[in-house]
Amino acid sequence: MVAGAERVLRDNWRQGHRSSDGVAYAFTCPATPRYRHQWYWDSCFHAIAWRHFDPARARAELRTLVRAGRLDGFIPHTTFWDRPAYWRRAPFYGTHTVFGCSATATIQTPLLALAWELVADASPDEPGFAREALAQLRLHYDWLAAARDVDGDGLLTIIQPDESGLDDSPKYDALYGWMRHDRPGYFWLIERYRRLSYDAGSIAERYDEHVEDVTVNVFYALALRSLARLCAAAGEDGGVYEARARGVEQALLGRSYDEARGLFWDLAGRREQPLRVSTWSSLAPLALPGLPEDVRRRLVEQQLLHPRRYHAPFGIPSVSIEEPSFEPGFQLWRCWRGPSWMNTAWLLVPAMRELGYEEEARRIVSSLVEAVARSGYREYYNPIGGRGLGARGFGFATLLVDLIAPSGNGAAFTAATSGAGPMMQP
Ligand code: GLC
């Protein structure tokens, strides 16, 4: 199984020089033929998996992601490198013009600094790696705070559902309506925001279709903590990132936590309306060690272990089983409405272990091992029957190796994030 993961990563590896300007690239495309470009969060997950096989490739993938960024610190959701968006897909991408762009003008869940720290830990042969991109990482996270914390409450805003990576999640249905990711109106949503140059400030002033997304902000907080540690290790002051991370955690607890339901909700539009659909996003703050333990335990006991909610035979469903929108099987253009994805388990399982739910954590990992044994590394899996669905040879499904390696992600991730800050009071 581990060899199979390495094969997927090696098969999907792309490297060369962009023909238009000679810029070097090296990254793993998520899956051919469907996903041929470099996606931001996929690349971070690929690098995290690569570090078990070939840390040099993990480093190259993250360096390429940084190189895809602009000088002001923006890093795109998707960079096309030498494969311009194909005419059937180009209109879906958040680019400035339909053709002729080298990357999108949108973002994706910003976990780069977290991936950088994990890869740096696996790079004893190249100790300089940990600090070589500190200036760019600072710029990136400063850009996010300046451009995407639109109302100054500490939480990042996304303007399109695919900016979280959870494109068609039912949590966005009520807000985006006919402009949902899986509806024709999505083209209009892109066009509308294209006309405002994807400037989140202008968009938030005029429209209400934007979200302070829980998953995005959980990964953001984890990455800010990683960045603070990378700064400290290099002898630089990273206090500002530590403080920002605390601010994000406090804002999540204070604004998006629903005490009565024990779940976190995305906040929509200027009035921060909670989007009350239970998806794995509502559980993502479990991965924040700085949150009160009782809040985190409740997420495990009342959600992850609940047979009508997230306790499924295979993996962790992306939507609570009791939600009317829960759809475990394959549906064209829809993938986040129920199936189990590997990155969900990757985020939540180490936190379960850290809180002492070892047996349950092991059950989830074993179920994913079984699903991969049956169907290979697929984009996602049916949480009820275990069948592999969507793309084959899918890059970030190989995060499984991180969950099963003794020195792997489960252990490393917990070590990297625990003790990251004082326990906060609600
Ligand atoms: C799909 C997924 C998204 C991923 C992309 C590339 O759009 O929803 O999360 O980044 O494919 O794999």
Asked if residue 339 has its Cβ within 6 Å of ligand 1, the reply is no
Asked if residue 388 has its Cβ within 6 Å of ligand 1, the reply is no
CB 399 within 8 A of CB 409: yes
Give yes or no for residue 413 having a pLDDT over 50: no
Average pLDDT on 232-257 reads 98
Q: How far is the CA of 165 from the centre of ligand 1 (A)?
A: 6
Q: Give CATH for domain 2-419.
A: 1.50.10.10
Q: pLDDT tens-digit profile of 315-334?
A: 999 999 999 999 999 888 89
- pLDDT band, very low/low/confident/very high, at 119 (cuts 50, 70, 90): very high
Count CB atoms within 10 A of the CB of residue 349: 29
Q: pLDDT tens-digit profile of 34-81?
A: 899 999 999 999 999 999 999 999 999 999 999 999 999 999 999 999
Task: Give 93: exposed, middle or buried? Use CB within 10 Å, 0-12, 13-18, 19+.
Answer: buried
Give yes or no for residue 422 having a pLDDT over 70: no
Q: What's the DSSP call for residue 335? A: -
> Tokens in use for 239?
């206090």
267 Cβ contact partners less than 8 Å away, ≥ 6 residues apart: 155, 211, 212, 255, 256, 273, 274, 275
Asked if residue 41 has its Cβ within 6 Å of ligand 1, the reply is yes
User: Residue 335 CA: which ligand 1 atom is closest?
Assistant: 8
Q: How far is the CA of 335 from the centre of ligand 1 (A)?
A: 9
Single-letter code of the amino acid located at 130: A
Q: Alpha helices, DSSP H only, in 98-133?
A: 112-121, 129-132
Q: Please give the Cα distance from 218 to 50 (Å, whole number).
A: 23
pTM of the model: 0.95
Q: pLDDT tens-digit profile of 379-403?
A: 999 999 999 999 999 999 999 999 9
Give yes or no for residue 416 having a pLDDT over 60: no
Count CB atoms within 10 A of the CB of residue 347: 24
Average pLDDT on 353-365 reads 97
Q: How far is the CA of 423 from the centre of ligand 1 (A)?
A: 34
Q: Which has the closest alpha carbon to 228: 69, 113, 58?
A: 113
**What is the residue extent of each domain of the chain?**
2-419
